[in-house]
Structures are given as structure tokens and as C-alpha cells.
């Protein structure tokens, strides 16, 4: 999943009515009360998960797709969980999704920071659309794509086409710059200049108008392929990570552009420093930054873990990690509460 972690309020999720707590205790005085659920049973002196989330000031809502591709929402810090429904009351489904300007978007898209304009790739073709009006604003060729936030305001759609990062008919990051960046990989640094190296961009995003972060993959005759996460400031490489070898994917960038995370567990800051996330969590496959960027939600095949970004930056040997008992194939972390019914868009 590749998208901005926008802080727009999800304009439309219907919360199912909770059963009255008194129902669990209905009956005569001789009838015993229902035992508390396992999530509320804790040894004396040990805080509950909701208590820990409140202590760490973790809030918002985790919108996620479960293993059956049903969309659900978990409110933080209460951990109340509900189905996500449409305006007509139907169940929303989707194994991968995005949320933009209060609209549910199936599949993977990239969006402007206000969430109102999206771009979707299909093969090598791009469709640009207004989320609110659903009108098509334009079409282009070249994938993947990313929105570049301009200092004077507005956003510019950029795309990987003909070996370079382009905007309209202009080259922003040339093929030569991408090749030079790829040769910073430890396994390629001493490669003979006569060997023809090919580089492709599988995912990329802009942290600001100058800085671009990208997943590069290389190929060459008689040279093993490599993947790497690189951070460019104009044409200079200021960050590179290949901590886990070949498999690097699912790039996610925080709302302000201060951080990025990528599978299988790399956190990179906008100054180029990077950290490996704790390997004890298992296989990491989805990421979402909290709206305030203090926490990173990491989905594994067993749970979702909320990891303190600050603790990782400080190289704490045991960073704060809160385990939320949900399974997620895709994940978005939004601010605010939930009201109404979720609108869908193409």
C-alpha cells in the first residue's frame, strides 16, 4: 500500500449499536454474572491495553481489512471494533484500500495531501480523478506515480517513465541520477563501469519539493539483482538502506513527510538516517503512521503492533510496543471519530 497517511476524518463509518452491558447480567439474583473477557483480565498491578494506550496518548482510528477482506474500524484508545458500512448500510469489502476525503477507494492509489485528487495506475496508464465529484481530470502514461507538494502551494503529479522521474514533459530525476544512486548499494559500489546496469523504480514518494524516496531495483548481465531504499535530495543520495537484502516494498510516508517505512521493516527519517524495526515482531507487511507521527502501526500475520517512533530513533533497546489483537491485510490510521456512512469513489 502506497499512500499519504492523511489526517482527514473518515466521513462515513457507521458504528453498529453496542449491546447493553446490562444484558450480560440479566436474570435473578441467583444467576451468576458473565465472566469478563480475556482482554480485561490482568494480573494485579498490570495495566490493561486500553489503559496503556491512554497513558501513551494514542488516539484515532485504525481502519483495516481483515483476512476475509471485510473493512473494520478499531477506535483508539477504547479498542471498540465495528464494521465499516456504506451510506446504504451495506458491508464494505476490499483486501487493499485507501481513504481520501472521507471516501473509500478500492485498491491502491496515490493522493494529494488534502485527499481530494487521486491518481491510479493500471498497467502503465494513469487516471487522475477528483474524489468528491468523481470526475476524470486527466490521463497519462508511466507508473508508478507520486504527488509532489510544491512550496508555493498545490501538487504536481510525477511518474516513472522512460527510465526517469518526470512531471509533464520535464525530467525531474534523470536515469543517470538513478543509476548513480543504485551504485551506492554495497554490492554494486565496486561494479566495473563497463557493465551496463539497468535500474527501475518500483515505488516512490516525495517528502517535500526537493526530497524523493524510492525503492530501486537493478539488473545486469551476470550480476545478481538488488533492491534498495534510497533518499535523494535533488540529485544527491542522503540515505540508503538495504538491511534486508532483496525484498523491499510497500512504501508508506507520514503526513508531514518526516518519516517513511517500508517492508520488511525499515524506518527512514527525512535526513537519511534509517533503523531496522524489531525482528521479534515477525513478518511485517503493512504500515500506517499515526496522525501525529509519534507511532507506527505495523501489521503482521498475527497482530497489529503500535511502535514508538521516538524510541526507535533513540535506539532504545526495548522500544515501547503496544499489541492490538487484530489481523490486517491493509491498514490506515486516521484522526477523529467516526460518523455517518462511508462514501465510495473510483
Q: What is the mean pLDDT of residues 258-270?
A: 95
161, 141 contact by CB (below 8 A): yes
For the chain, give the longest Cα–Cα distance. Answer: 87
Q: What is the mean pLDDT of residues 217-232?
A: 93
Beta bridge pairs of residue 335: none
Establish if 194 belongs to a structural domain: yes
Q: What is the mean pLDDT of residues 280-298?
A: 93
Q: How many CB atoms lie within 10 A of CB 292?
A: 17
Residues of the domain holding 306: 46-344
Q: What is the mean pLDDT of residues 61-66?
A: 95
**Is the pTM higher than 0.85?**
no
DSSP-assigned letters across all residues of 219-288: EETTEEEEEEEEEEETTEEEEEE-TTTT--EEEEE-TTSSEEEEETTEEEETTS-EEEPPGGG----EEE
Q: What is the mean pLDDT of residues 139-154?
A: 94
| Residue bearing the bigger pLDDT, 71 or 242 | 71
Q: What is the mean pLDDT of residues 335-343?
A: 57
Choice among 98-112, 287-301, 315-329 with the minimum mean pLDDT? 98-112
Contacting residues for 234 by C-beta, under 8 A, at least 6 apart = 210
Establish if 102 belongs to a structural domain: yes
Choice among 119-123, 243-247, 249-253 with the minimum mean pLDDT? 243-247
Q: What is the pLDDT of residues 190-217, one digit of tens each?
A: 888 888 999 999 999 999 999 999 999 9
| Per-chain mean pLDDT for the chain | 85
Is a pLDDT exceeding 80 seen at residue 43? no
Taking the C-alpha atoms of residue 250 and residue 71, their distance in angstroms, rounded to an integer, is 19
Give the per-residue pLDDT at 114. 87
Helix (H) or strand (E) run with residue 312 in it: helix 309-313
Establish if 13 belongs to a structural domain: no
CATH number, residue 181: 2.130.10
Is a pLDDT exceeding 70 seen at residue 291? yes
Give the per-residue pLDDT at 45. 60
Q: Cell 496515490 appears where?
A: 110
Establish if 185 belongs to a structural domain: yes
Is a pLDDT exceeding 90 seen at residue 7? no
Establish if 247 belongs to a structural domain: yes
Q: Which pLDDT band holds residue 90 (cuts at 50, 70, 90)?
A: confident
Establish if 103 belongs to a structural domain: yes
Q: How many domains does the chain have?
A: 1
Taking the C-alpha atoms of residue 200 and residue 216, their distance in angstroms, rounded to an integer, is 6
Is a pLDDT exceeding 50 seen at residue 40? no
Establish if 12 belongs to a structural domain: no
Q: Which pLDDT band holds residue 87 (cuts at 50, 70, 90)?
A: confident
Is a pLDDT exceeding 80 seen at residue 342? no
Q: What is the dihedral of CA 17, 330, 251, 130, to 10 degrees?
A: -60
Is a pLDDT exceeding 60 seen at residue 64? yes
| Residue bearing the bigger pLDDT, 46 or 285 | 285
Establish if 9 belongs to a structural domain: no
Amino acid at each position: 500500500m502506497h499512500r499519504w497517511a492523511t489526517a482527514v476524518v473518515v466521513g462515513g463509518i457507521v458504528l453498529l449499536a453496542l449491546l447493553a452491558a446490562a444484558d450480560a447480567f440479566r436474570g435473578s439474583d441467583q444467576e451468576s454474572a458473565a465472566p469478563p473477557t480475556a482482554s480485561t483480565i490482568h494480573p494485579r498491578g498490570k495495566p490493561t491495553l486500553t489503559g496503556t494506550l491512554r497513558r501513551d496518548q494514542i488516539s484515532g482510528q485504525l481502519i483495516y481489512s481483515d483476512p476475509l477482506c471485510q473493512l473494520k474500524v478499531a477506535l483508539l484508545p477504547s479498542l471498540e471494533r465495528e464494521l465499516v458500512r456504506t451510506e446504504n448500510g451495506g458491508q464494505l469489502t476490499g483486501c487493499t484500500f485507501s481513504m481520501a476525503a472521507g471516501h473509500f477507494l478500492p485498491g491502491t492509489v496515490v493522493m494529494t495531501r488534502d485527499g481530494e485528487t487521486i491518481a491510479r495506475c493500471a498497467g502503465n496508464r494513469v487516471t487522475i480523478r477528483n474524489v468528491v465529484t468523481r470526475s476524470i481530470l486527466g490521463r497519462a502514461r508511466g507508473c508508478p506515480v507520486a504527488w509532489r507538494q510544491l512550496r508555493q502551494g498545490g501538487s504536481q503529479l510525477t511518474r516513472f517513465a522512460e527510465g526517469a522521474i518526470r512531471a509533464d514533459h520535464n525530467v525531474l530525476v534523470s536515469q543517470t541520477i538513478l543509476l548513480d544512486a543504485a551504485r551506492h548499494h554495497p554490492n554494486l559500489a565496486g561494479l566495473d563501469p563497463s557493465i551496463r546496469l539497468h535500474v527501475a523504480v518500483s515505488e516512490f514518494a516525495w517528502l517535500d519539493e526537493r526530497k524523493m524516496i524510492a525503492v530501486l531495483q537493478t539488473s545486469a548481465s551476470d550480476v545478481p539483482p538488488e533492491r534498495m531504499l534510497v533518499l535523494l535530495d535533488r540529485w544527491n543520495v542522503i540515505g540508503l538502506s538495504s538491511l534486508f537484502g532483496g525484498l523491499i516494498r510497500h512504501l508508506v510516508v507520514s503526513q508531514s513527510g518526516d518519516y517513511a517505512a517500508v517492508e520488511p521493516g525499515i524506518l527512514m527519517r527525512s535526513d537519511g538516517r534509517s533503523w531496522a524495526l524489531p525482528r521479534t515482531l515477525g513478518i511485517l507487511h503493512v504500515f500506517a503512521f499515526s496522525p501525529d507521527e509519534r507511532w507506527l502501526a505495523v501489521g503482521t500475520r498475527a497482530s497489529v503492533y503500535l511502535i514508538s517512533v521516538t524510541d526507535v530513533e533513540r535506539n532504545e533497546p526495548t522500544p515501547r510496543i503496544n499489541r492490538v489483537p487484530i489481523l490486517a491485510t491493509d491498514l490506515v490510521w486516521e484522526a477523529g471519530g467516526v460518523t455517518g456512512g462511508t462514501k465510495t469513489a473510483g
